[in-house]
Amino acid sequence: MAEQGDLFAPGVGEAPLVAIIDSSVDSCAEIRDRFMTYGPSALDEGDTLALILDRCSITGASPVGASDALMARFGGLGRIFGAPEPELAQVIGIPAARELGLLHGLLLRVLEHPLRRREALTSTTAVNAYLRVRLGALPREEFRVLFMDKKNQLIADELLGAGTVDHAPVYPREVVRRAIELGASAMVLAHNHPSGDPTPSSADVEMTKQIVAAAKVLQMTVHDHVIVAGDLVASLRALGLM
């Protein structure tokens, strides 16, 4: 898997927690009034995040300051939700970081629900949206497999490899063994590139071919290998690489 830079190296976009402490004013008052008058459509990403943090920030913290600090460090909601709790806690404290983790888990369940209830492959958009939320914010590579039944409904989404910023060990025999254990008939492979570039590496392509070959022996289908990089997604099948 292609070499990636470490987005969370010390000093990179880091905002000390003390920087968001400001109890002198209600920094969310105007945002709250706008929300009550016009609804969610009147808020941008930063405003929405500030209102969420207003309910869980540490005492004396400015929700707007906390929102700005998170956006500056992570670059957007897509990289904030799903980021590791310790990374979030460096900016907004542990309680607020856990609240964002809870919201991320809820969002994953919402996106996963239709994949378990109908043929997942009828909507590439739904699959990609789920994988972006699952993998887009991670600072290290993870290799996951969506195992599916004969109707292409999701049986399980499992982590089968976790590694560094530029590599996650994957063993084709372990992927196929787990598919047998789950009674799966098909799979979608997925991993992330923390660098922000979803372009498949030669190692990505070779590993995919090995899994496809191993699955074929047991009459299992590998529908795709999806690479997520922040908000970007690349499909090896769409690129003609599998």
pLDDT by residue (tens digit) across 33-79? 999 999 989 999 999 999 999 888 766 678 998 999 999 998 888 88
19-38 pLDDT tens trace: 455 555 677 889 999 999 99
Helix, strand or coil, per DSSP, at residue 128: helix
Spatial neighbors of 168 by CB under 8 A, at least 6 apart, are: 1, 140, 141, 142, 143, 161, 162, 191
Distance (Å, whole) CA 218 – CA 186: 11
Distance (Å, whole) CA 130 – CA 113: 10
Spatial neighbors of 6 by CB under 8 A, at least 6 apart, are: 12, 139, 165, 194
Can you tell me which residue has the tokens 């700005």?
Answer: 68
Structure confidence at residue 14 (pLDDT): 44
Kindly tell me the burial class for residue 182, based on how many C-beta atoms sit within 10 Å of its own C-beta (0-12, 13-18, 19 or more).
middle
Distance (Å, whole) CA 136 – CA 159: 15
The one-digit pLDDT tens for each residue of the chain (242 residues) are: 444 433 333 333 444 454 455 555 677 889 999 999 999 899 999 999 999 998 887 666 789 989 999 999 988 888 899 899 999 999 998 889 999 999 999 998 888 887 777 666 567 888 999 999 999 999 899 999 999 999 888 999 999 988 765 666 788 999 999 999 999 999 999 999 999 999 999 999 999 999 999 999 999 999 999 999 988 999 999 999 98
Structure confidence at residue 163 (pLDDT): 73
Spatial neighbors of 85 by CB under 8 A, at least 6 apart, are: 94, 97, 98, 101
Structure confidence at residue 165 (pLDDT): 57
170 backbone φψ class: left, alpha, beta (φ>0; ψ -120 to 50): beta
Angle, alpha carbons 31-33-37 (nearest 5°): 115
Q: What is the pTM of this model?
A: 0.73
Strand partners for 29: none
Q: What is the DSSP string of 138-182?
A: -SS-EEEEEEE-TT--EEEEEEEEE--SS-----HHHHHHHHHHH
Structure confidence at residue 146 (pLDDT): 96
- Tell me the domains of the chain and their CATH numbers: 17-106 (no CATH), 138-235 (3.40.140.10)
